[in-house]
Amino acid sequence: MKIPKKKELLRLQVKYRTDKKMGEALGGVPAHLVAYWRKKKKIPDCDLPKYSQKQVKVLWETYGSDKQAAAQLGITPAAFYKWRQKYGIKERPRQLKLSHLQLNLFPESALLSAGLGQTLIEKLASRKLERKGVLSGEIYELEPGLIILSSDWDKLLADSQALGLKRVKRPDRVWAKLPGWGSAPNGSFQLLQSAQEFLRKNQVKNIISAKEGYCLQVLWEKSALPPLGLVLGTDKTVTATGFLGCWGKRLESSEIIQVLESGKVKLEIPATVKITMQGKLNPAIFASDIYSYLTHQIDTLLLPDRLLEFSGEVVSSLSLPQRMALALMWAQTPVGGIIFSVDQTTRKYYLSRAKKSVPLLEGDEQAAYVEKLEFDLSHLEPQVSSGPPAGRLVSVRQQKKKHVSKIVLGAGLHGRLEELEVAARVLSKRKVHPEIQLVVVPGSRQVMLSALRKGYLRTLLEAGAILCDPGLENWEELFFTPGPVLTTCFLNSNHPEIFQPQDLLFVNPATAAASALKGEITDPRDYL
């Protein structure tokens, strides 16, 4: 008899809970033998009920019928009745709902099940746990597919020593972005040495140097993001992994240390705000325009600790780099997470790069969302947004003719290949205005090499642009200049030292390139 591995036993325990049922699933193995295997592999008894009180209560109040509620969990009506009795849920729901009625008005038609429905994050958690009925607000124990160590290295190293980290359980699932040699205290050579020693000691071999570029960009290029998996990290940009249908969650360094050692984490499934974007975008519209417009339309009181689920016709039309850009911008706000529906574009990426097949996924219309917001972006124009504290937003037509002294293309988590491509298209066989300084910062070394092969960098340099290192560490210094500055780099109140009395305007890459030609804010639609 082949003894199952620990991972298989854990999977069966989550699904079946008891040793008896686990044995039956293994082909008739006695319960005492399953218990013996568990103890040898140090797997404790299951301490969580298969269905929580909240799950049972919500289903009962929704359907008012053991049969209908049981169908949602894939169990018998008698079994659901027992779960109700266990939690003391005996009274009929006081408020009558349409789903409580069983009216055979059309007997020849197969009535659709009035399912409760799930949000996208609930579906992902259900896939991860291999169980039905996962609900927002419940806490589940999950195994991360990727852990990113990319910031707060000084605190991370101090916490690992204070908590006595013995070993990293799954070093193959850890990627680390090393601190740089910058002038900042957390970029010192001593910190770099300490980080390298920590990674060697814990056998972490997936390492990104500071000169390779921005962490998420490099991880995407290396196909390191787990298909529809859970991604944990020390930096808030980890939530932007949702552009590929992952669930990104930022944790404190002390929490990350515990996850590194145990290989598991207990997380609450977040409540979701669904944002549906419809319409056909103008070719001159980019992720930055969408972000600027949405942040001026959505009540920010809805956002703290909420997960934003993006779907709709516009999402389907966006390329993966533009989805990443949009997710990274939202990651700088106090949201609880960002996730995009999994469509054919996402599937093709996983098939071609990660060699994995994933299902098409999006939240159900009847799911319990905190709020549903729908926007038609068909008539959206290129936007010009000023930085805080003003936060003013106007279309490029209203801001035309405004003089600028410097333009920054890329930097601060931006500078993808698409951005360099559109800038090169606008500047091809043209020259940057003599009074304008156009600075280009590619997002990664790979972006720079690709742009070099495709001729984009040559076009930009011939036009008069200044090229910086990929993923420039001290990019904030680019903005310490008098006069209005135009940038494709999204900045917020986390960068108060940058926001001096001068104007700082946020635009898309096409607007930035077009404005570099005239020395003033220019509508890019004249050049595309």
Same domain flag for 522 and 387 = yes
Cα(460)–Cα(463) distance, rounded to whole angstroms?
Answer: 5
Which of 267, 254, 44 has the alpha carbon at shortest distance from 165?
Answer: 254
Pick the last residue of a domain from 312, 345, 376.
376
Instruction: Report if residue 287 sits inside a domain.
Output: yes
| Phi, psi for residue 67 in degrees, rounded to 5 | -65, -50
Which of 316, 344, 349 has the alpha carbon at shortest distance from 221?
Answer: 349
Same domain flag for 319 and 414 = no
Q: For 240-249, how does the pLDDT look when each residue is reduced to its tens digit (9 = 90+)?
A: 999 999 999 9
Instruction: Report if residue 403 sits inside a domain.
Output: yes
Residues of the chain with pLDDT under 70: 1, 46-50, 94-116, 181-188, 300-302, 387-391, 491-502
Cα(278)–Cα(291) distance, rounded to whole angstroms?
Answer: 14
| CATH code, domain carrying 516 | 3.30.499.10
Pick the last residue of a domain from 353, 376, 399.
376
Same domain flag for 365 and 392 = no
User: Rounded to 5 degrees, what angle do the CA atoms 267, 268, 273 make?
Assistant: 130
Same domain flag for 522 and 393 = yes
Q: For 311-321, how does the pLDDT look when each residue is reduced to its tens digit (9 = 90+)?
A: 999 999 999 99
Q: 4 in helix, strand or coil?
A: coil
Same domain flag for 369 and 320 = yes
Instruction: Report if residue 344 sits inside a domain.
Output: yes
Instruction: Report if residue 236 sits inside a domain.
Output: no
Q: Answer yes or no: are the C-beta atoms of 193 and 201 closer than 8 Å.
A: no
Cα(497)–Cα(525) distance, rounded to whole angstroms?
Answer: 33
Instruction: Report if residue 256 sits inside a domain.
Output: no
Q: Answer yes or no: are the C-beta atoms of 56 and 80 closer than 8 Å.
A: yes
Same domain flag for 516 and 433 = yes
Same domain flag for 496 and 407 = yes
Measured CA to CA in angstroms, residue 64 lies from 59, 99, 117, 330, 367 at distances of 8, 8, 16, 40, 18
Same domain flag for 363 and 486 = no
Tokens of 223: 């196909």
| pLDDT at residue 184 in the model | 45
- Report the 3 state secondary structure along 298-349: CCHHHCECCEEEEECHHHHHCCHHHHHHHHHHHHCCCECEEEECECHHHHHH
Strands 383-386 and 504-506: antiparallel
Same domain flag for 284 and 389 = no
| DSSP for 491-522, written as a single string | --TT-TTT--SS-EEE--HHHHHHHHHHTB--
Same domain flag for 491 and 393 = yes
Instruction: Report if residue 135 sits inside a domain.
Output: no
Report the Cα 225 to chain-centroid distance in Å. Answer: 11
Instruction: Report if residue 336 sits inside a domain.
Output: yes
| pLDDT at residue 94 in the model | 55
Same domain flag for 415 and 509 = yes
- On the 0-12 / 13-18 / 19+ scale of CB atoms within 10 A, 56 is buried
Q: Answer yes or no: are the C-beta atoms of 329 and 294 closer than 8 Å.
A: no
| pLDDT at residue 501 in the model | 42
Pick the last residue of a domain from 376, 397, 421.
376
Report the number of distinct structural domains present in the chain.
3
Instruction: Report if residue 210 sits inside a domain.
Output: no
Same domain flag for 358 and 391 = no
| pLDDT at residue 211 in the model | 87
- What is the domain extent for residue 288? 272-376
Start-to-end CA distance of the chain, whole Å, equals: 68
| pLDDT at residue 149 in the model | 95
